[in-house]
Amino acid sequence: MNPTSNTGLTPDTTLRIALTPGDPAGIGPDLCLLLARQPRSVELVAICDPELLQDRARTLQLRFTHRLLDPAAQPVPTAAGELCILPVALRATATCGQPDTANARYVLDTLDRAVDGCRDATFAAMVTGPVNKALINEAGIPFSGHTEYLAEATGTDMVVMMLATEGLRVALATTHLPLRDVSDRITASLLERILRILHDALQRDFGIARPHITVCGLNPHAGEGGHLGSKEREVIIPLLEKLRAGGFNLSGPLPADTVFTRDRLQHTDAVLAMYHDQGLPVLKHMGFGQAVNVTLGLPIIRTSVDHGTAYELACTGRVDPGSLQAAVRYAIEMIHCRARH
């Protein structure tokens, strides 16, 4: 069995988790170094240019050592002040706070190495730092986000983006899409596939035997009986009735301003929002800096930070690693849930 295979885990198993810092000019390298200040029960493997982390450590005046990954060796817990590194060379010198299209391919190289390692069980999961989608596109590489890129890289036909924080999980029916295109994208077949992926992931990755999912309507007041839009009446309501008949525990469609109330969320395992800015502002208000982005439906486990590259904070020593710490914690919990499922 591979050292990091998710099957047959015991309390003594040391997991090996890939960590991609993201854009080298942003705060991702800083976050990795801050994460390394505390010992970990898992082996964290930063997939990056070793000199990038060494240079950033000198700038931040952090004590840091590294060792190179030996994939054939048994994982060992990460010691304080140390990271294991799988080397990937920068395409150009990285300068704090100065994004460079020359390193766009480097960012994707690190993701590719992490995906490959998860697929061959070198890694039990991957945790990703922030990237700049616009910069990658400006380099001539079509890129709409981690979620879509990882789906293509793993040959996965459909994935679901979900953000989670204490007390709230929000999955998205549509992701990085102009608002004017959202209604046309939402069909019964799309929503059924998304709800099935979300339901199965809540069982497999979060250990919830019979998950309760609350579904937002698309229109104000969830369409007000068809007076403010027909998507609910024609598409969402018939689909939810079909899935309920098949055993799904679903509420909705409900207006978003009703869904995100304290009493309702107490009885909800996940909310399905129809579009990006319907659900995520509430979640980030509740847990920004401690929230985690999870890609559901992949054959591998991937979690991520809930924030961007924050170029203006790179090398300042004023960054908060809370979201990255939470992403590592979620990855570990998901690994163990899958092993038990």
Q: What angle do CA 77, 80, 81 make, to 5 degrees?
A: 120
Can you tell me the distance from the alpha carbon of 165 to that of 289, in angstroms, rounded to the nearest whole number? 9
Can you tell me the distance from the alpha carbon of 91 to that of 101, in angstroms, rounded to the nearest whole number? 10
CATH fold match for the domains 1-156+298-341 and 158-296: yes
β-pair partners for 272: 171, 215
- For the chain, helix, strand, coil in percent to 5 are 40, 20, 40
CATH 3.40.1390.10 fits 158-296, yes or no: no
Q: Where are the domains of the chain?
A: 1-156+298-341, 158-296
For 5, 7, 71, 88, 201, the CA distances from 336, given in Å and listed in that order, are: 11, 9, 21, 29, 13
Architecture in CATH of 1-156+298-341: 3-Layer(aba) Sandwich (3.40)
Q: What pLDDT is recorded for position 176?
A: 86
Average pLDDT, the chain: 95
Over the chain (341 residues), the average pLDDT of each successive run of 10 is 51 91 98 96 97 97 96 95 97 97 98 98 98 97 94 96 96 94 97 98 97 97 90 97 98 95 94 97 92 96 96 97 96 96 87
β-pair partners for 254: 216
**Phi, psi angles (nearest 5°) of residue 93:** -60, 135
Nearest to residue 53, comparing CAs of 24, 75, 15? 24
Nearest to residue 131, comparing CAs of 34, 24, 289? 24
Residue showing tokens 């050292």:
3
| Per-residue model confidence as pLDDT tens digits over 139-182 | 999 999 999 999 999 999 999 999 999 999 999 999 988 999 99
Q: What pLDDT is recorded for position 12?
A: 72
Question: 241: exposed, middle or buried (C-beta count within 10 Å: 0-12, 13-18, 19+)?
Answer: exposed
Can you tell me the distance from the alpha carbon of 221 to that of 211, in angstroms, rounded to the nearest whole number? 25
**Phi, psi angles (nearest 5°) of residue 288:** -60, 135
What dihedral angle (degrees, nearest 10) is formed by the CA atoms of 46, 334, 326, 34? Answer: -20
Nearest to residue 2, comparing CAs of 143, 117, 156, 150? 117
